[in-house]
Structure 1
Amino acid sequence: MRLSDFIVQHVDRIVDEWEKFAATLTPAADSMNRVELRDHAKSILLAAARDMNTAQTKAEQIAKSQGEETGKTPTLDQAAASHGELRHTVGFDLVQMTSEFRHLRATVIRFWVESLTSPEITYFTDMIRFNEAIDEALAESTAAYAERVTRSRDIFLAILGHDLRAPIQAIGMSSEILLRRAGMSDADLGYIKRIKSSSRHMATMVSDLLEFVRSRLGVTLPVVRKPMEMTLACREAIEAASAGSPDCDPVFITTGDTQGEWDRARIDQMLQNLIGNALQHGAATHKISVTLTGGDQYVSLAVHNDGEPIAQEAIGSIFDPLVRSINEEAGTHNPSTSLGLGLFIVKEVVNAHGGSITVTSNFGDGTTFTVVLPKKG
């Protein structure tokens, strides 16, 4: 009997074996009923059998073996993907889920071989097609499982970041109140200023984390454009950065008309991250400069710092999330407290405003990030 026909005739027997094995995958299986243990096993097997009976060219066979979409089986993919999602939901780990397919493959082959009386050359083709189908199902289940894991992690990070904002804000406000008290010693004032500065750093990191998670969950960065003065925003961002780094005095040069329509909160994020990046990674013995130039339809912002340049091989990934490619060995104004999200957030803000950002970095000239933003959307 051909393998596809065998699977159809003995599908319930095979699924019984699947159920017995799935029941051993504890602790998740301890709380699962019979239907949950069997899950999409029957659908996967019947879809695999239909796939095996479908004519396949040599090119399609090669394409399928390489994981390409050509020649894939939609019903098999759907059943396998649903299986991966549900196994994640009930608490199976990835090893347990993939072991189900290993056991299924072994069970089908064992039952089929035991039923054969004499081998035929066509059986080898059946074996190849069956293994292709199971590999395809395993790949789809694994991808769906991994996607659920990633989404669950992102949602957890979003909740964590959101809940952290309240205590961080309380720390900042409390330190502000304490700074206004009279009669405090210089040492006590120093401690409070350090608390305030640290809370500001934490707030920035949490904000960056939330923006990163939002992008991971497929939500575009929202912007609300209102008239604002970019020069004023730059001055305030530099002042805030200097408060956290009193030994640094950035040079600010502004020319032209810098009035436009932007989202002030997002622009503040962009400026804080760009200036903070320059302060953190610039040489400790050199100042940074911020140059703002206003034109008829655009403004151009350049943030420059001297010091160790960005490696050329890292330039292409400098705006990727969770990447910290700057040479940490160089002398810096500040130790690294970055999550590797600052420049990613900068890029997101620039894109949301329809602008562009470039970076140049080399020995002698230092590093310059240049942002060009249209004045209106």
Structure 2
Amino acid sequence: MRLSEFIVAHVDRIVDEWESFAKTIKPAADSMSSTELRDHAKAILLGAARDMNTAQTKSEQAAKAKGEDLKKTPSLDEAAASHGELRHIVGFDLVQMTSEFRHLRASVIRLWVDNLKTPDLAYFTDMIRFNEAIDEALAESTAAYADQVTRSRDIFLAILGHDLRAPLQAVSMSTDLLALKAKLDEPCRAHLARIRMGTQHMGSMVSDLLEFVRSRLGASLPVERKRMDFGEACREAIDEASAGHPGTYPVLSVQGDTTGMWDRGRINQLLQNLIGNALQHGAASREITIRITGEENNVELVVHNLGNPIAEDAIGSIFDPLVRSNTAEHPSKGPTTSLGLGLFIVKEVVNAHGGSITVTSNVNDGTTFTVVLPKSV
């Protein structure tokens, strides 16, 4: 009997062995019913049998051996993906889930070989096709499991970031009330100022974390466009960013009409991160320049600082999440509270407004970020 025929004829017996093995996976299996333990096993086996009976050229066989997606058996892929998702939900770890496929492969081959009476050359082809089908199912199941792990982590981070806002707000409000009502001496006021600044840094980190998670969960940054003056927003952002860097104040140049339809909150995020990045990494003795040019259909923002350039091999990934914009020779000036999300948020804000951003950095010219945003949708 050919292997595909054997699988169809003995599918319930094979699934019984699958269930028996799944019961040994503790502690997740302790609370699972027979239906949950047998989850998608029959569909995976029948999908594998259908795949084995599908004609396959030598080139297709070679492609499949390399893991290329030929989309021959959607039912197999769907069953395997659903299995991976559900195994994650009930508490199997990745090693435990993949061990089910290892046991399934061994069980089918063992039961089939025990049933054979005379060897046949075609049986070797059957084993190759069966192994390909199981590998395909395992790949789909593992990918789906990994997606669920990533999504669960992102949801956890979203909840964490959201819940951190309340205690941070309480600390911030209490600090403001103490500054207004309490009669504090100068040292105490200095301590209070440090608490306020630390709270602001933490609030910024939480906001960046939430924006990062939002993008990971597949949602683009929402924007609420209203008419605003980009130059005015930049002046306010400079004042706010410079408060944390005494003695450093960027030089601003505004030319042309800089009004347009943008989301004021998002633009403030963009400006704070770009200006803060320049203040953090620019040479302390050299000025930071910001130029805003209003043109007919767009506005251009250029933020420039001198100092150690961004490492050449880091330019390509500088807008990726959790990547810090370290310079070629020195990490940064002093301690930082950054999560490595600032420039990622900048890129997301630019994309949400339909704009573009580029960066150049070298020893002679310094580092320049250039943002171009359309004035209207």
The TM-score range, normalised by the shorter chain, is over 0.9
| Residue in structure 2 matched with residue 355 of structure 1 by the alignment | 355
Cα contact 1:61–1:71 (8 A) shared by 2? no
| Residue in structure 2 matched with residue 69 of structure 1 by the alignment | 69
The more displaced of 177-186 and 366-375 is: 177-186
Residues 1:131 and 1:104: Cα distance change in structure 2 (over 3 Å): same
| Residue in structure 1 matched with residue 344 of structure 2 by the alignment | 344
Q: Confirm or deny that 1:214 pairs with 2:211.
A: no
- Partner secondary structure for residue 244 of structure 1: coil
Query: 2 CA distance for matches of 1:114 and 1:75?
Result: 28
Query: 1 CA distance for matches of 2:19 and 2:284?
Result: 64
Number of matched pairs: 377
| Residue in structure 2 matched with residue 225 of structure 1 by the alignment | 225
| Residue in structure 2 matched with residue 18 of structure 1 by the alignment | 18
Equivalent position amino acid for 2:174 in 1: S
Offset of 1:176 from its aligned partner?
2.1
Equivalent position amino acid for 2:267 in 1: I
Runs of 5+ unmatched residues, structure 1: none
Alignment of 1:156-195 (within 5 A): 156-181=156-181, 183-195=183-195
Query: 1 CA distance for matches of 2:332 and 2:82?
Result: 50
Offset of 1:285 from its aligned partner?
2.9
Cα contact 1:308–1:363 (8 A) shared by 2? yes
| Residue in structure 1 matched with residue 196 of structure 2 by the alignment | 196
Query: 1 CA distance for matches of 2:247 and 2:175?
Result: 21
- What is the TM-score when the length of structure 2 is the normalising length? 0.96
| Residue in structure 1 matched with residue 242 of structure 2 by the alignment | 242
- Partner secondary structure for residue 300 of structure 1: strand
Residues 62-117 of structure 1, C-alpha deviation per residue, up to 9 Å, x if partnerless?
A: 22222222253101001111110110110100000000000000111111111222
- Partner secondary structure for residue 316 of structure 1: helix
| Residue in structure 2 matched with residue 289 of structure 1 by the alignment | 289
- Partner secondary structure for residue 261 of structure 1: strand
Residues 1:333 and 1:290: Cα distance change in structure 2 (over 3 Å): farther
Cα contact 2:50–2:73 (8 A) shared by 1? no
Offset of 1:329 from its aligned partner?
5.5
Residues 1:356 and 1:255: Cα distance change in structure 2 (over 3 Å): same
Residues 1:187 and 1:344: Cα distance change in structure 2 (over 3 Å): same
- Partner secondary structure for residue 248 of structure 1: coil
Offset of 1:16 from its aligned partner?
0.9
Alignment of 1:104-119 (within 5 A): 104-119=104-119
Residues 1:332 and 1:96: Cα distance change in structure 2 (over 3 Å): closer
| Residue in structure 2 matched with residue 280 of structure 1 by the alignment | 280
Runs of 5+ unmatched residues, structure 2: none
Equivalent position amino acid for 1:87 in 2: R
Residues 1:331 and 1:325: Cα distance change in structure 2 (over 3 Å): closer
Alignment of 1:97-108 (within 5 A): 97-108=97-108
Residues 325-376 of structure 1, C-alpha deviation per residue, up to 9 Å, x if partnerless?
A: 4138527444222111111110111111111111110002110111111121
Query: 2 CA distance for matches of 1:331 and 1:25?
Result: 47
Equivalent position amino acid for 2:43 in 1: S
Equivalent position amino acid for 1:310 in 2: I
| Residue in structure 1 matched with residue 134 of structure 2 by the alignment | 134
Among all aligned residue pairs of Structure 1 and Structure 2, give the percentage whose two residues are the same amino acid. Answer: 70
Query: 1 CA distance for matches of 2:286 and 2:78?
Result: 59
Offset of 1:182 from its aligned partner?
5.8
- Partner secondary structure for residue 176 of structure 2: helix
